[in-house]
Amino acid sequence: MKVTVIGSGYVGLVTGACLAQTGNHVVCLDVDAAKVAQLQAGHVPIHEPGLEAMVRANAAAGRLRFTLDAADAIGHGRILFIGVGTPPGEDGSADLQHVLAAARTIAQYLIGPAVVVNKSTVPVGTADRVKAVIEAGLAERQIDYPVAVVSNPEFLKEGAAVDDFLRPDRIVLGSEDESALQLMRTLYAPFNRNRERIQVMDARSAELTKYAANAMLATRISFMNELAALAEQVGADIEQVRRGMGSDERIGTHFLYAGAGYGGSCFPKDVRALLHTGREHGLQLGVLEAVQAANARQKRVLVQKLERRLGPLAGRTIALWGLAFKPNTDDLREAPSLVVIEELLERGASVVAYDPVAATAARAQLHDKAGITIVDDAYAALDGADALVIITEWREFRTPDFEQIRSRLRQPLIIDGRNLYEADEMAAQGLVYEGVGRPSTR
Ligand code: NAD
């Protein structure tokens, strides 16, 4: 099939590459000239395991190409995906300017009937707005191609995006247009082979499903972070509590980790957008408000732990391991590390940070901040630092050289925002250790 994908970010690029991989002819459109030039040269501008190889193979096979030329891209596809960003607006609502611009571009250059598939995370009712914008644009051109709009929210996880797209838990299709749905079933058939994964519903329910899923995941995290604070007060271990409660089938073990707070490009903005939708309809979503407040508090917990251990932080040097909002990505959007850095610098501390993948993105984002250095070696970050703070659970941090950590730090203190180690083992290594919601060394 001929497919166009508008927006070549995490979602658009993965969608384009995976659909080309199953034999479709895909053209990806973006407005970012530097990004398109990089992609045309075979370089994937984001870190996503398996993606660059897939992009190169499909480009070489002639099934995937990238363009800035809207007429070329929109003229190509019978199915047109929208995968552009929906960042938070000032009032917390999802900013739809890019989605609506994509709809206008479609209307401007469409040359025949089309199925428009929205993969961006958008508030309830956006499918209707997109359809109205396209129909108005076509009317201006005095043409009348049938256009169906399908809401097809994306559930991939950064860091495992290709795998998630190829083996999705579910494929949600929101539409009441039977022929559009039939086309989508055919397109998704290769990802729907071993069991039925396609769930058809109305567009509004599909749009709300995406927010509901992210809000539930955020709720689980904030719930556990709140219980972690209680566990510290009462002398319990949140890791043991997690295992105990998670083995109840009704609860399950996933997404119950206490830590440094959730970040990333989705949970914080989607929680805010859902709260905004509630307000627009006169509804106070109290559970979700508490989830958001608990998360804002949690992003400051590691700095509070440092202060309790070290006293005032002015003049101190703190080593940070991990900047990305989670492992296997270079994405820094709303990462807890950014709040920790901000709080440390505000208190007059210096920061030396290391991240195996997000260092380049972090240097670009933090270049104007005095007091932070980003180094390319995990252990070099420790030299002369008063403590090590772990913020992202990269695999390489799981079994580090504790002897080096102890000898290179000025004080043998680890504040672990991801509960990677056991306090008694750390004590045996001569380290002072504190996790989140767990007994510390002393
Ligand atoms: P992104 O910022 O990585 O990419 C968006 C791309 O769209 C950019 O390259 C931008 O230049 C391009 N763009 C903007 N306006 C355009 C236009 N008018 N025409 C063509 N291209 C345009 O964003 P992302 O992380 O891929 O997210 C996209 C959407 O998918 C968002 O709504 C997000 O909430 C949702 N989503 C993201 C994830 C994720 O893990 N990143 C997961 C599920 C859903």
In the structure, which protein residues have their CB atom closer than 6 angstroms to any atom of ligand 1?
A: 6-12, 29-32, 35, 83-86, 98, 101-102, 105, 120-121, 154, 156, 158, 265-266
**Active site positions, annotated:** 266
Looking at domain 210-296, its CATH superfamily turns out to be N-(1-d-carboxylethyl)-l-norvaline Dehydrogenase; domain 2 (1.10.1040.10)
State pTM to two decimals. Answer: 0.95
Domain ranges for the chain: 2-201, 210-296, 299-434
Q: Check if 2-201 and 299-434 are the same fold.
A: yes
| CA 120 to ligand 1 center in whole angstroms | 7
**Ligand-binding site membership of 369 (annotated):** no
pLDDT value at residue 442: 73
Look at the domain 2-201 and name its fold: Rossmann fold (3.40.50)
**Ligand-binding site membership of 326 (annotated):** yes
Looking at domain 299-434, its CATH superfamily turns out to be NAD(P)-binding Rossmann-like Domain (3.40.50.720)
pLDDT digits (tens, 9 = 90+) for 54-107: 999 999 999 999 999 999 999 999 999 999 999 999 899 999 999 999 999 999
Measured between alpha carbons, how far is 388 from 429 in angstroms, rounded to an integer? 15
Please check the confidence at residue 198 and state whether its pLDDT lies above 90.
yes
Nearest CA to ligand 1 atom 22: 7
What ipTM describes this predicted complex?
Answer: 0.99
pLDDT digits (tens, 9 = 90+) for 402-411: 999 999 999 9
Q: Which single residue is written with the structure tokens 């992202």? A: 392
Q: What is the per-residue DSSP string for 325-381?
A: SSTT----TT-HHHHHHHHHHHTT-EEEEE-TTTHHHHHHHHTT-TTEEEES-TTGG
Choosing from 18, 30, 86 the residue with most ligand 1 atoms within 8 A of its CB, the one to mutate for a pocket test is 30
Strands in 296-422 per DSSP E: 317-321, 350-354, 372-375, 387-390, 413-416
